[in-house]
Structure 1
Amino acid sequence: MLKVSFFFFLRCGFRNLNQREKKTSKGRGRERKMGWIGETMDSIRSLQIRQVLNQAVSLGMIVTSALIIWKGLMCITGSESPVVVVLSGSMEPGFKRGDILFLHMSKDPIRAGEIVVFNVDGREIPIVHRVIKVHERQDTGEVDVLTKGDNNFGDDRLLYAHGQLWLQKHHIMGRAVGFLPYVGWVTIIMTEKPIIKYVLIGALGLLVITSKE
């Protein structure tokens, strides 16, 4: 009877040891598995951060390149704004709202009949109108101009600053030398509805940052 009890005790002891070893092995396996998952997640996070940084640098390079191209166009054309958008119908039927004009500013004196883009003191938005008359100053020899919209009844003196009768050279941004129809509507829509502009800019930025290529 004692022998049977002793062997039964040994068998139970070995069985408990085996069960403990199995549990320990399972625990170690789980720890190894969790450690591998953690390392994998850390690697993914590190890779994602690097990708975001790389795409952010790419976005910065795109913006910088656009600015360099714009500055280059300014130097080539001699105009502070080489490309402008027609914002009103005052030059119809020749130019319609939404058309894009390409400008060039040469040293040749401006003549009647030319289409120019000019700034007016007190107004932020430039105006695209035709020169209808030129006036040469007797004291300096400089040429001043009077403008008018093709679709307007009168000249632009009501648009000029108070008491100003002529546009001087520093008011002129450039001569119109070419145009693209309707392309500028994107700019008009974004100007009139700023929320669309912010959404488009955000979407483009997100697209560049999240792009894998």
Structure 2
Amino acid sequence: MFSDLAALASNPRQSLSQILNFALVLSTAFMMWKTLSVIADSPSPIVVVLSGSMEPAFQRGDLLFLWNRDKAAQVGEIVVYNVKGKDIPIVHRVVRRVEVVDKKTGSRDMRLLTKGDNNVADDTELYARGQEYLDRKEDIIGSVRGYVPCVGYVTILLSEYPWLKKVMLGLMGVMVVLQRE
């Protein structure tokens, strides 16, 4: 193992090639993410279900695909939204739509009330202080258009067990070294 590391250090061209290949993989993944973001008109076109609040529709660990081009969310539609001041998106169903008219400008805005299928009460307790409804334009990340079951569970494991990230990185490093032999 150490002889492989010494060989990499003695051959800078091979080391640079591996670094550039790794950078290419990362930049490709980033470009794919950004392309999906533009196509879906969502800052986060793919999210993972983190809790059981939407069971039986979605289970913890399901990977959701979002679309944000349809601006008029309907009652019954499942949306993903961000709460002001919190980083974790929430996946819940729209249970009420309220149209608000600005008295000064006459413009109409859509407000939404959401609830998890597995929850007893609506989400008003989850919203920011003083907020009764979600603003469709500001708070909603996207509407769920598809999902893949269980695929996102790796993300949950890595966030709940930080030591697992180190183990996985170590295993990848060992695999790279063993691949050289």
* Coarse TM-score class (shorter-chain normalised): 0.7 to 0.9
Residue of structure 2 in register with 1:39 after alignment: none
Larger radius of gyration between Structure 1 and Structure 2: 1
Contact 2:8 2:15 in 1 (8 A): no
Q: Are 2:118 and 1:151 aligned?
A: yes
**1:92-131 paired onto structure 2 within 5 Å:** 92-131=55-94
Contact 1:55 1:211 in 2 (8 A): no
Report the Cα distance in structure 1 between the residues aligned to 2:179 and 2:87, rounded to whole angstroms: 37
Report the Cα distance in structure 2 between the residues aligned to 1:112 and 1:45, rounded to whole angstroms: 59
Q: Residue type matched to 2:90 in 1?
A: I
Unpaired stretches in structure 2, ≥5 consecutive residues: 1-6
Q: CA deviation at 1:108?
A: 3.3
Residue of structure 2 in register with 1:89 after alignment: 52
Superposed structure 1 runs of 4+ greater than 2 Å apart: 44-50, 201-212
**1:63-212 paired onto structure 2 within 5 Å:** 63-139=26-102, 140-168=107-135, 169-204=137-172, 207=175, 211-212=179-180
Report the Cα distance in structure 2 between the residues aligned to 1:46 and 1:97, rounded to whole angstroms: 44
Give the % identical residues: 46
SS at match of 1:170: coil
Q: CA deviation at 1:85?
A: 0.3
Q: If the length of structure 1 is used for normalisation, what is the TM-score?
A: 0.74
Q: CA deviation at 1:91?
A: 0.3
Instruction: Name which of structure 1's ranges 45-54 and 105-114 shifts more when overlaid on structure 2.
Output: 45-54
Q: Residue type matched to 1:170 in 2?
A: E
Q: CA deviation at 1:201?
A: 3.3
Residue of structure 1 in register with 2:14 after alignment: 51
Report the Cα distance in structure 2 between the residues aligned to 1:200 and 1:157, rounded to whole angstroms: 39
Q: CA deviation at 1:203?
A: 3.6
Report the Cα distance in structure 1 between the residues aligned to 2:33 and 2:112, rounded to whole angstroms: 28
Report the Cα distance in structure 2 between the residues aligned to 1:45 and 1:68, rounded to whole angstroms: 29
Q: CA deviation at 1:206?
A: 5.9
Q: Residue type matched to 1:144 in 2?
A: R
Report the Cα distance in structure 2 between the residues aligned to 1:197 and 1:45, rounded to whole angstroms: 25
Q: CA deviation at 1:211?
A: 4.7
Q: Which structure features the higher share of strand residues?
A: 2
Q: Residue type matched to 2:88 in 1?
A: I
Q: CA deviation at 1:194?
A: 1.1
In the comparison of the two structures, how many residue pairs are matched? 170
Q: Which structure features the higher share of helix residues?
A: 1
Report the Cα distance in structure 1 between the residues aligned to 2:131 and 2:82, rounded to whole angstroms: 13
Contact 1:59 1:205 in 2 (8 A): no
Structure 1 residues 209 and 56: alpha-carbon distance in aligned structure 2, compared to 1, 3 A threshold: farther
